[in-house]
Every structure is written in C-alpha cells, then in structure tokens.
Structure 1
Amino acid sequence: MPGRFFLTTPMAEVAERLGKPAGDLEDEPPRQNIQPGQEIVVLTAQGLTRMRWGMIPVGRVNARGRPVMETIINARSETVFDKSAFDGVGRAVIPVDGWYEWTGEKRRKTPWRLSAKDGQPLYFAAITDVWTAPGGLQVPQAAAVTCDPNADVKPIHHRMGVILPVDDVQTWLSEDEGVARKLMRPLPNGLLNIREAVDVNWSGP
C-alpha cells in the first residue's frame, strides 16, 4: 500500500488529462518524496485542490469519550464504506506518477519505485473529510483506499492502492456507493514498472 508518493509531471499537464483547470495549482513544484502528513493534490467532484494526506476520523472517540487522534493514511476497501469511523466521507482521486514500497528487515530495507509502464499518471481512489482541529481550524484531509495486491505488487507488499483507469475517475467521484464498490479492485497485471529506488532524498521534496 502506498507509504509515499511521487509526482513530477507538471500540474498543468495532469489537469489537462483530467479535463479540469489547474487554477492556483499550476505552479505546484515537482515532488519526489511525498510523505504522510504533508499536503497533496487531490481531485474532488468540485475540481483539483490540496488536502492533508492522513485522516483523523471525524467523531471517532475512545472508551472514555475522548477523540482518537490516530492518523489513517490508507483505508481498506473491504470496510471503508462500513466502518463508523468513515461515516459520511467524501470521495476523491489522488493523481501521482507513482509510489514507493519497502522490503527487507528493519534498517536494511530496499526501497522500490512503482509507476505506470506507459509513463502516464496513476489515479488512486481516496476518501476525504474535514477535521476540525483545536481552535476551530478546518483541515481538509484524505486517505488512499487499498485492496489486495495484483501479481506485480504481491512480492513487495500484501496490499496496494486502488488505482483507477482514467475513464473511471469520474465514476468514482460521482456515482453511488454500489457502483463505487465495484471499482475497488487490483490493477490488472503487467501495467506497472517496478524497480529499485535509487538517488531519492528521503528527507526532502
């Protein structure tokens, strides 16, 4: 499942492929290392915008009635529409050029870079809501939706993000829940380029 994304395609080009205006996102810089907790570009039914990657589920409380502050960056497709923690969430798409996974033992892990073989952006299904932070600040937030891996990803990780064909992007954003559920499946095999990630500044952009 995606732990970090990268997006270096100019945002004007991403917007054009999606048939949406880039607006004030046109100057979005290329990013090789997008980490949870940072702002990401997402597409909602209203257009392209920025949200924080990671959701503090709205209304989620512990046994004492106190808010649960655990951040969720990925949500399982099998339960995303059923868990009370995700009641009332919206849907969005995260456009990226690819993502990273790691294999191996702690401190000796190998990073892998996954992207589309045809060089086109990938469109991750996501859920969204707005968290009200202490002091009343409204924070739009998003989490990627995950499913079982396809044969390409399985040797690297036991989960992968739900990657939508571009023709299904609008369907995910606007159709009812029953239709959206049918889209939450692994990407067909053979469409990804997977190679060891080298020369990535893991602490920078």
Structure 2
Amino acid sequence: MPGRLFLARELAELAPEWSVDELDFGSPRRNIAPGQEVLTLTADGAWMMHWGIIPVGRKNARGRSVMETIINARSENVFDKSAFEGVRRAVVPSDGWYEWAGETCKKTAWSISPNDKSLLFFAAIYDVWNGPGGIEVPQVTTVTCEPNADVREIHHRMGVLFARAQVQVWLGEYDEAAKGLMRPYPDGGLVVVEATNVDWNGR
C-alpha cells in the first residue's frame, strides 16, 4: 500500500538531477518502516523526510487539530481534502515494497518489485510540520490507488508508481497533468514473491 519499502541499490544514478550524495542516507536499507526517515525527491532537491504526515489542516468535530499520523493518502481525494491543503508533490524512490496477506497472526510477507529491476518512484506529498519550541519536521506520505492485477490478490490498494520519465510531470506546476498520472501501474510490470531473509526489527 505500501506498508514498508526497501532501497538497496547505490544512488549515484539519481545524480545530477538530485544531489543525493550530500545526504546522510547510510547503508542500503531493506526495511524502511513508517516513522523512519525516507529519501524524498522534490522539485527543489533531495531530502530525508519523516515518513508520515500530521496533516496541518485536519480538524475534529470540535475544531481541534488532529495529531494522527497518515502514512498513505488516497489518490481519489488527495487534491480535495482540507487536511492536505498547502502540501507539495514529491516522489519517494524505491526498489520495491512489502505487503502482508493471509489470516491474522499467520500473515505472509510479500516482496513486490519491478520485473525489469528498474527504480520505482512512489507518488508522494509533503510539507513541514511546525512543532513546539520551533521544531520543524519535513514530512512525507505516499499516494495510493486501486491495485493492478499483479497486486490485487494480496492487497486492495497500491502506491501510485511512476516511471522515471513521468517524475517531472508529477513534480511540475500543473495539477491536472499530475492527476492524470494517478492510476495503477501497468499489469505484468511487477514481480510478487514471498519475502525472505528480512530483519523486520532492523534495517
């Protein structure tokens, strides 16, 4: 949807468009969980951002701010919800993601990645959360849509995924052009295999 991401390749191929060599990204990561920092590419450059947004415009029935963190936003209404007012578009590069399917307490972890081993770019939105004491936290959430045929058997949602050529359209100024990209990845483009040898408690 995605539940967790992995990005294990060298990031030199993202240069010179984004100066990722300047970021403290550490070693390849095979288990990136919500709440951790994730590499995020924007029209202004590359940043490490907190995966999960506290929506700046979200209010409850009493008009009080809602502090619940959102890690995925639905493509069907992401441009219309007041909770996401003022956010900007970004992409999160990834080699793939994990989903879990099956009975409760007996779920199987599945690894999903492109069959041509290309880099995936997850559609995302981001902003900066201003916390107590002047804290500023760049935060990002991925955008989801209906699943394609590859993913449908294991999950009812999937991330909106772009090929490299579509990234600049998503990051551009035109909302209508960006909306046109929010659709399932082409059928047959993904490989789904059982995830093995993953340290779910680490990286």
The aligned counterpart of 2:178 is: 180
Q: Within 2, Cα distance between the matches of 1:152 and 1:166?
A: 20
Is 1:127 paired with 2:125?
yes
Match of 2:39 among 41, 44, 48: 41
Q: Within 2, Cα distance between the matches of 1:154 and 1:139?
A: 34
* Matched residue SS, 1:135: helix
Q: Within 1, Cα distance between the matches of 2:27 and 2:67?
A: 30
The aligned counterpart of 2:106 is: 108
Q: Within 1, Cα distance between the matches of 2:170 and 2:36?
A: 24
* Matched residue SS, 1:75: strand
The aligned counterpart of 1:4 is: 4
Structure 1 residue 27: Cα displacement: 5.2
The aligned counterpart of 1:170 is: 168
Alignment-mate amino acid for residue 6 of structure 1: F
Q: Which runs of 5+ in 2 are unaligned?
A: none
Match of 2:84 among 65, 82, 86: 86
**Percent same amino acid among aligned pairs?**
58
Structure 1 residue 26: Cα displacement: 6.7
1:139-183, Cα deviation, whole Å (9 max, x unpaired): 110110000000001001000000011101011001311110000
Aligned counterparts, 1:8-27, within 5 A: 8-13=8-13, 15-16=14-15, 19-25=17-23
Q: Within 1, Cα distance between the matches of 2:170 and 2:40?
A: 13
- TM-score (structure 2 length as normaliser): 0.96
The aligned counterpart of 2:49 is: 51
CA contact (8 A) 2:150 2:187 kept: yes
How many residues matched?
A: 203
- TM-score (structure 1 length as normaliser): 0.95
Q: Which runs of 5+ in 1 are unaligned?
A: none
Structure 1 residue 63: Cα displacement: 2.5
Q: Within 2, Cα distance between the matches of 1:75 and 1:196?
A: 26
Q: Name the Cα RMSD after superposition.
A: 1.3
* Matched residue SS, 2:111: strand
The aligned counterpart of 2:28 is: 30
CA contact (8 A) 2:101 2:107 kept: yes
1:10-66, Cα deviation, whole Å (9 max, x unpaired): 1223x13x7332232275311011000100001000111111000000032222332
1:86-133, Cα deviation, whole Å (9 max, x unpaired): 111100000000000010111100000001111111000000111111
Q: Within 2, Cα distance between the matches of 1:3 and 1:200?
A: 14
